[in-house]
Amino acid sequence: MSRGAPTLVQRALAGHAAIGLLASALLYIIALTGTVVVIHDRWQRWEQPDAAEVVTLSPEAAAAAMRGAIARDGDRPRTTHLYLRMPNADLPRAVVTTDHGASYVTAAGAIAGPEAHAWTEFVIGLHEYLHLPATWGLIAVGALGVALAALVVTGVLAHPRIFRDAFRLRARHGAQVARVDWHNRLGVWTLPFVLAVAVTGAFIGLGSVGFGVLARAYTGGDLEQAYQPIFGREPVPDAAPAPLPDIARALRTLAARAPAARPTYVIVHAPGTRGQHVQVLAEHPRRLIYGESYAFGTRGEWRGAAGLSDGAVGQQFAASTYNLHFGNYGGLAVEIAYMLGGLALCGVTATGTTIWLDKRRRRGLGGRRLGACWTAIVWGVPLALVATLWLRTLAGPGAPLVPAFWSLVAAAVIAAAVWPRWVGQRPWRMALAASVALTGIGHAAALMPMVPAVLAIDGVLITLGILGLFLDSRLLTRRRPLV
């Protein structure tokens, strides 16, 4: 019995540590993919550099695109919604989407070709839902946002001198000391950013749960009625056939009544029915809200705004969380700042878990396998993202990106658990740096994009990859790595 009890305890502690490692891995995946999707519009352009591009889309061209999309669907079941994405500076492409697919649109409103940025959508789905069913994915990601916010607060409280030592970095005092200092310094420097994205991520993720509770308590389970105070009332549905709405008139009316608003989406609910209505989302300059929602009738007549730009404080707050979380405001400078903050959060997550595993080992709790698994996650997840990008390039937009990604990550973790002594950090780092550089070189050479914004991404990828290889060979080999 004396030998059995410690073994049971050790197994329980190992299980506890494995659960902690899983939570850290999910936080790391969300942080890494969040860093990537900050520029999701630019990734879409990079993924399909030869797609039709337009600077503006006239009201008449928008109406032609709507008619073309309905005609493209042919005899398939009637679409429940029609979305027309208007071009902007970050993504000068118009896209019309129905239940049966999405297509690019020319400046004249003609259907140009299918939208096929599958890898970008794959990364967005990984960040927002962890590829789980929508509701469960939002709940999981929202709960992780709460956990991240709690980690930020408790991390500050646990280190009373954290702000006083904000610029104290003992990088030459041994790997463990340097790792702790990097963890604390990055945590302090990115504290406002991390707290903002954590709280807004939790709000977005758990908002659907909260509205579900409110709907059951006050509206008999009617979610649309629960959302009504924020996003406005939905018209009564009527499935009887009717001509398509006049969205050209709706866009002209919006331009006359709100000249500063820039339309981003035109949405037709239940097109081709008597219950159809038009919703136009439009950005407001120098505002944090993702946009105002304007409602129009079948003939394009004005029905009013939802109030996201000038309504109740709660409405404006709810409409501002999306841009605050994703960095969709302020242009490229803000996007770069968010990406740097996201990379810092990846570093904080990676070093924090490594510090925790080192403490376990010093206390005699083992952890060599857990440490190897964490190494596989830190470097294997970005490698798997690059591998899925190559898979999409070779196999087309229909490639099974989701199972490929999770299979690669699972294989890396299992291999690390079975053969921990063979898992070294330097080969992972060098493989990642080389693959990033080759991705930029291969994209530029194979597709020869002529758009400066697309070539800029290739240049950044090549530079980062070469820089990573250089630093690894000249600097990091002189001391034990930090993560």
- For residue 433, pLDDT over 90 is answered with yes
What average pLDDT score do residues 115-120 get? 94
Average pLDDT over the chain, rounded to an integer:
86
For the ranges 111-115, 135-139, 390-394, the lowest mean pLDDT is seen at 135-139
Name the more confident of 21 and 240.
Answer: 240
Residue 220's pLDDT is 59
24-44 tens-digit pLDDT = 899 999 999 999 999 999 999
Residue 257's pLDDT is 94
- For residue 292, pLDDT over 90 is answered with yes
For the ranges 26-35, 59-68, 304-313, 419-428, the lowest mean pLDDT is seen at 419-428
Highest average pLDDT, of 394-398, 434-438, 468-472, comes from 434-438
What average pLDDT score do residues 1-8 get? 48
Highest average pLDDT, of 4-13, 55-64, 323-332, comes from 55-64
Residue 4's pLDDT is 46
392-413 tens-digit pLDDT = 999 999 999 999 999 999 999 9
For the ranges 58-67, 271-280, 414-423, the lowest mean pLDDT is seen at 414-423
Query: How does residue 432 score in pLDDT terms, banded at 50, 70 and 90?
Result: very high
245-290 tens-digit pLDDT = 999 999 999 999 999 999 999 999 999 999 999 999 999 988 899 8
331-365 tens-digit pLDDT = 899 999 999 999 999 999 998 888 888 877 777 76
CA dihedral over 245, 247, 252, 254, signed as positive or negative: positive
% pLDDT > 90, the chain: 56
171-212 tens-digit pLDDT = 555 566 667 777 778 888 888 999 999 999 998 888 777 766
Query: How does residue 3 score in pLDDT terms, banded at 50, 70 and 90?
Result: very low
- For residue 479, pLDDT over 60 is answered with no
% pLDDT > 70, the chain: 84
What average pLDDT score do residues 70-87 get? 94
Q: Residue by residue, what is the 3-state secondary structure of the chain?
A: CCCHHHHHHHHHHHHHHHHHHHHHHHHHHHHHHHHHHCCHHHHHHHHCCCCCCCCCCCHHHHHHHHHHHHHHHCCCCCCCEEEEECCCCCCCCEEEEECCEEEEECCCCCEEEECCCHHHHHHHHHHHHCCCCHHHHHHHHHHHHHHHHHHHHHHHHCCCCCCCCCCCCCCCCCHHHHHHHHHHHHHHHCHHHHHHHHHHHHHHHHHHHHHHHHHHHHCCCCHHHHHHHHHCCCCCCCCCECCCCCHHHHHHHHHHHCCCCEEEEEEEECCCECCCEEEEEEECCCCCCCCEEEEECCCCCEEEECCCCCCCHHHHHHHHHHHHHHCCCCCHHHHHHHHHHHHHHHHHHHHHHHHHHHHHHHCCCCCHHHHHHHHHHHHHHHHHHHHHHHHHHHHCCCCCHHHHHHHHHHHHHHHHHHCHHHCCHHHHHHHHHHHHHHHHHHHHHHHCCCCHHHHHHHHHHHHHHHHHHHHHHHCHHHCCCCC
Residue 10's pLDDT is 54
For the ranges 81-95, 212-226, 293-307, 391-405, the lowest mean pLDDT is seen at 212-226
Query: How does residue 157 score in pLDDT terms, banded at 50, 70 and 90?
Result: confident
